[in-house]
Amino acid sequence: MIKQALISIAVLMSFGTAAQDLDRKIEFPNIEGYLSLKCDFHIHTVFSDGLVWPTIRVDEAVKDGLDAIALTEHIEYQPWKDDIKHEDRNRSYQIASEAARPHDLIVIHGTEITRDLPPGHANALFITDVNEIMHEDMMQSYRNARAQGAFIFWNHPNWNAQQKDAIPVMSDIHQQLIKEDLLHGIEVVNDLTFSEEALQLSIDHKLTVMGTSDIHGLVDYQYDLANGGHRPICLVFAKERTAESIKEALFAGRTVTWFENILAGKERDLRALIEASLDFEVKGYIGDSEVLQVEIQNHSDARFFLKNTSPYDFYANTDIIEVLPKSRMTLQVLSTRADKTEVPLKFDILNAIKAHKSPLDIEVSLLEE
């Protein structure tokens, strides 16, 4: 009986270890000239309307392999104020910063300016004191944040609780904020939503593309990580792995978002990420046939869906090709076997969105061997 009990305990422990060892760290390759930093700049705790202590947000970020987070508690909305008393609105940031010390995680000081639409909610990053941002006048709150050097972005512009048709509209107030250098980015991804209209607004008004979790509960439950889900992140292409370099990259607009396997960003940045993620290599012909073998390697955690738009057909695939994360696949191309002939393969990457209703197109010129 004792032996059986010990065996049962060992089996249970092995299951627990396997679960704990589940690697959920998000990985994307660096792009040419920049590091690809994984960030989440919209996070809540019990110090506003979230449901967890700030240390939990640090633990989640470390497990997800993030490089930087920002705890952005609401200034005006404090539903737990009778239970969590904090006269100093910087307390959430202070707790998270201390918890992050043993880890290689950057905690950026931030807050959320919470107003009706327009302008709606906005996050201010790289601030120094939340208490000094609070003001009855909305514009003055933005100005106070900017005076601290803040990068400010418009949160969930498609939120149907404020925008009933879920189509974001650039109001006169937003235009004024942009004119006064008080608005620099816009959330294309927030929590469980993705807005191609917001992506188009970012292009039209030269705003940085942002993607965040806006997490209030547990990341594991919200995004079903146990079954292969992932939290939304903002990939920031920075020169160095520092808060200062992240700030420079955000103001320069070098970002791509990743949400439910959708990559979205401006064409320059999206193309750079795809070029770093996908490699195409000729592997020769099948025997003495005229079927050319091309290996595609995916270096990222994204699953890519490629639609063939070239004149070539494939031997074992339709025109829709799926490239799994961190994998290799062989594509067999029907082509001529003339010496030194280039085979220009063209694809639309269906889950890489560069503008409203516009997937990224790529061309790969391969040299037949």
| Structure confidence by residue, pLDDT tens digits, 129-155 | 999 999 999 999 999 999 999 999 999
Total-model pTM: 0.92
pLDDT at residue 15 above 50?
Answer: no
Per-residue pLDDT tens for 40-74?
Answer: 999 999 999 999 999 999 999 999 999 999 999 99
Of 124 and 368, the one with more pLDDT: 124
Cβ contact 47:91 at 8 Å: yes
Residue 85 binned pLDDT confidence (cut-offs 50, 70, 90): confident
Assign residue 119 a region (left: φ > 0; alpha: ψ between -120 and 50; beta: otherwise). Answer: alpha
- Segment 217-240 mean pLDDT: 97
Distance of CA 212 to the CA centre of its chain: 6
Domains 23-265 and 278-367 share a fold: no
**pLDDT computed for residue 13 by the predictor:** 38
Terminal CA-CA length for the chain: 67
Could you read off the pLDDT of 288-335 as tens digits, one per residue? 888 999 999 999 999 999 999 999 999 999 999 999 999 999 999 997
Question: Superfamily assignment of 23-265 in CATH?
Answer: Metal-dependent hydrolases (3.20.20.140)
Proportion of the chain above pLDDT 90, given as a percent: 87
pLDDT of residue 342: 81
Class of domain 278-367: mainly beta
Domain map of the chain by residue range?
Answer: 23-265, 278-367
State the Cα–Cα distance between residues 109 and 149, nearest whole angstrom. 11
Read off the pLDDT of residues 194-206 as tens digits, 9 standing for 90 and up.
Answer: 999 999 999 999 9
Nearest CA among 66, 20, 26, 40 for reference residue 226: 20
For 248-267, write each residue's pLDDT tens digit. Answer: 999 999 999 999 999 999 99
pLDDT (0 to 100) of residue 252: 98
pLDDT of residue 111: 98
